Amino acid sequence: MSTIAFLNIPLHGHINPTLPVVAELVRRGHNVRYYTSPAFSKEIEATGATVFLYPGGDQPLPDPPLPVTMLDGLAGAAVGLLPGVLADLRRVRPDLVVHGAACAWGAVAAHELGVPAAATFTTFAFNRTVPSPTGASWELLAQAAARPGNVRSFLRSRWALSRRYATRGVPLFDLANVRQPLNLVFTSRAFQPDDGAFDETYRFVGPSIGARLLDPSFPEHLLRTPVLYASLGTVFDAEPGLLRTFATALAPLAGTAVISTGHTDPAALEPLPPNVVARRFVPQTEVLARAALFVTHGGMNSVNEAMHAAVPMLVVPQGADQPLVAGRVVELGAGLTIRTEDVTDQSVAALARRLLDEPQFRVAAAAMQAAQREAGGYQRAVDELEQYLRTAGGDVPEEARQER
């Protein structure tokens, strides 16, 4: 039995794709310890992993969630979390550390322990031809000039990190793009821009989608065909007026329109048409399995789930890597995109009609579904991790070898 430590930043888009991987590792006989914040402990414990909670409880997201504020937050988190994380890891003595590409403290911990590490990319893989959102750019420089306090805080934390710990291989600035000898990318080569520019250390394993905790309170019995679904995710707070526009634009085209409001109180959208179901959180994979259209912010996790279900998308990017994801959806013919400032009842309804009525969008979505599923998903990710363990001298349980 190998002991594998997972370290990640506490965001749904980064943690959710790792959950099926962790569950499969546990099923194959590995001991998994996951380092996270309290908000995700229940879902992680359901995989069979042991949870170690970061000190300090749930931390708020940088406000606003810009690349420069994210860099400041990531560097500060690395300095603040490493003492407690390392103390526990030295006691656990893992054979492998698996960390999110934006979790620099995972890479540093592996260096300090002298154990192999693998990185997980829950958005695109990035390099010189596919620039990272937190890589050097004119946009990042402009943000830095406008937010000198974040820059000073980042530099203090980054200097402290280098002074106290082994940071070999950790980028000086691009802390959301920490690579390892094995990099698991949770999308297919077909969806990855310029996939030929990445070497063999990148394994495009496709979306990692598995069973999630059921929500018996969701009124799935009320859904009527066609189901049209809208969600802007959990990172960027959507204004009630924007969500109401989606509801009123989609309702005339839908049997049922489902609106996930995230941090916004559904009551703030009222009054709504009678065929609209508005809830803070929605069992997304179950709803997408019945949906004919998905209005999404373009987070990679949501886009992967839509492609896995062959659902055409209307992408309304809010920030971060979402404009890049939206552009790729349009480029491959699986959907359309609209800027937030252009959202009206009329514009959303017109684009939704196109996506519902013009068959080429469903054809392209089906092609992406085939590519995503062919990539292998969480089972291939576990295969890659076990092969990496063998190469690095770790132990793969005999029962796992026999099953394969």
For the chain, give every domain's residue range: 3-206+376-403, 220-373
Which CATH number is 220-373 given? 3.40.50.2000
Q: Which CATH architecture has domain 3-206+376-403?
A: 3-Layer(aba) Sandwich (3.40)
Topology match between the domains 3-206+376-403 and 220-373: yes
Calculate Rg over the CA atoms of the chain: 21
Question: Bridge-partner residues for 100, per DSSP?
Answer: 120
The helix-helix angle for 104-113 and 67-92 (nearest 10°) equals: 30
One pLDDT digit (tens) per residue for the chain, 404 residues: 799 999 999 888 899 999 999 999 999 999 999 999 999 999 999 999 999 999 887 776 676 778 899 899 999 999 999 999 999 999 999 999 999 999 999 999 999 999 999 999 998 999 988 988 888 787 888 888 999 999 999 999 999 999 999 998 899 999 999 999 999 999 999 999 999 999 999 999 999 987 655 677 788 888 999 999 999 876 555 788 899 999 999 999 999 999 999 888 989 998 999 999 999 888 998 999 999 999 999 988 899 999 999 999 999 998 777 888 999 999 999 999 999 999 999 999 999 999 999 999 999 999 999 999 999 999 999 999 999 999 885 554 444 433 33
DSSP 8-state code for residue 11:
-
> What is the pTM (predicted TM-score) of this model?
0.87
Closest CA to 381 of 38, 31, 122, 71: 122
Bridge partners of 182, per DSSP, are: 118
Torsion of CA 58, 14, 167, 6, to 10 degrees: 80
Is 207 in contact with 186 (CB distance < 8 Å)? yes
* CA dist., res. 170 & res. 159, Å (int): 12
Distance of CA 151 to the CA centre of its chain: 26
Please state, as a whole number, how many other Cβ atoms lie within 10 Å of the Cβ of residue 131.
16
Q: What angle do CA 399, 47, 320 make, to 5 degrees?
A: 120
3-class SS of residue 144? helix
How many Å apart are CA 113 and CA 275, to the nearest integer? Answer: 56
